[in-house]
């Protein structure tokens, strides 16, 4: 008797978000992948925007990877993607700015063209600002609060409770819009700044 082999499951199209939440580290990988796919998948954007660019100086055994680069007629810029929870430490501190500045300096050295931090020298705000993208069934919203600091922030909309998020969508509730994403990101950032300065406001 002959037996027909069952087809192997196609995990590339499998929606894992139906069954599990994910760690912050994995959410970060997915958010980076969603952003990279967004820029690489658009023929017009891919002419000037280059995600996940790896650079190196082999003599010094140095390697780095900038999350996003912009190149257009001598206007060159570097961007870094972070979770919104890093807003205070990245946009409001020297440590976050120094990381993007390091990438810009290294790219300037290795590519023999001047790179700047974000939109500080004429580069536009990345067109991912205000968008919601999907990867492996998880939804990520992106925002650029300032521009000149070279920071892009993401929030995962259904990483912690995928089932609840799925039910909310199937009940025909309003979809996430660009305005909603920006409002959520701005409110989160303002709250985190308040928490950081709260100890200074309280009496000793």
Q: What is the pLDDT of residues 57-73, one digit of tens each?
A: 766 667 868 899 999 98
Q: Domain locations in the chain?
A: 17-198
Report the alpha-carbon distance of residue 154 to residue 129 in Å, rounded. 10
Regarding pTM above 0.85, the answer is: no
Would you place residue 97 in the very low, low, confident or very high pLDDT band (cuts 50, 70, 90)?
Answer: confident
List of E strands, the chain: 49-57, 62-72, 75-83, 116-117, 132-135, 138-143, 151-156
Tokens, residue 113: 């063209």
| Residue 133 clears pLDDT 80, i.e. is over it | yes
Report the alpha-carbon distance of residue 189 to residue 60 in Å, rounded. 38
């Amino acid at each position: 008797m002959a037996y027909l082999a069952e087809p192997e499951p196609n995990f590339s199209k499998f929606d894992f978000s139906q069954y599990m939440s994910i760690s912050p580290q994995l959410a970060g990988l997915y958010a980076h992948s969603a952003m990279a796919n967004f820029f690489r998948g658009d023929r017009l954007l891919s002419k000037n925007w280059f995600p996940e660019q790896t650079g190196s100086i082999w003599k010094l055994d140095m390697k780095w990877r900038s999350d996003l680069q912009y190149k257009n007629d001598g206007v060159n810029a570097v961007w870094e993607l972070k979770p919104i929870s890093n807003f205070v430490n990245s946009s409001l501190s020297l440590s976050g700015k120094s990381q993007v500045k390091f990438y810009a300096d290294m790219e300037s050295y290795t590519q023999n063209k001047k790179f700047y931090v974000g939109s500080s020298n004429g580069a536009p705000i990345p067109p991912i600002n205000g968008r919601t993208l999907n990867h492996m069934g998880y939804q990520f919203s992106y925002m650029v609060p300032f521009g000149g600091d070279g920071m892009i922030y993401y929030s995962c909309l259904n990483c912690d409770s995928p089932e609840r998020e799925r039910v909310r969508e199937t009940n025909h509730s309003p979809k996430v819009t660009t305005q909603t994403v920006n409002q959520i990101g701005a409110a989160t950032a303002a709250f985190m700044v308040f928490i950081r300065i709260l100890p200074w406001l309280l009496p000793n």
